[in-house]
Amino acid sequence: MNQRLLSILFIGLFLSIISIAVAATVYTVVHFNVQSVVAFSVTLPDSSTTNSSGTSTSDIYFNCTDGGGNCADLEPCLTGGSNCQNISTTTPIFEYDNIGTVNIDLGIYFNTTLPSCITVYGNTTASCTGTPIANNQVTINSSFAPLGGTMKYYLCADFATCSALDETRQLTHNGTQV
């Protein structure tokens, strides 16, 4: 075969391969990323105790003054008995704000079991009824939206025949992206 004819055939074959590659469908995966931020703040009646860093905000106290432990509907106060939750004036013990970028399920729980003579109730309305808070997480707001406004939360404790005790538990506030 002639060298020139071989060159023409090769170029013709090459051009047909190129045209097939140009005619083929090509897919590109495109990713769109928006950062998710799960963050909320917790404020107690003393407005200087706002916390969104994951560290302790403040101590709260349920003080039963009956030596036999027969106290019902105890409302919590901060250290020294000042800056208390006050259901009658609708002052909550906690106010939550979703300061992140995603909806969250907001929950709370104690780090260990409470003494059997104590029950703590939580509610988003100003009352001493509600969901018992224990060492299993309780969801207090489902799909709490960013910039959805402040959520008020109230706690009350019932002491049933507790004899002299001084117990401490850690209450964990937890937000999980939905």
Span 47-88, pLDDT tens digits: 555 555 556 667 899 998 888 888 999 999 987 777 889 999
Of 87, 85, 172, whose CA–CA distance to 125 is shortest? 87
Alpha-carbon distance 168 to 148, whole Å?
33
Q: What is the reported pTM?
A: 0.77
Of 45, 57, 43, 137, whose CA–CA distance to 98 is shortest? 43
Of 60, 57, 86, 77, whose CA–CA distance to 168 is shortest? 60
Cβ neighbours around 103 below 10 Å, total? 18
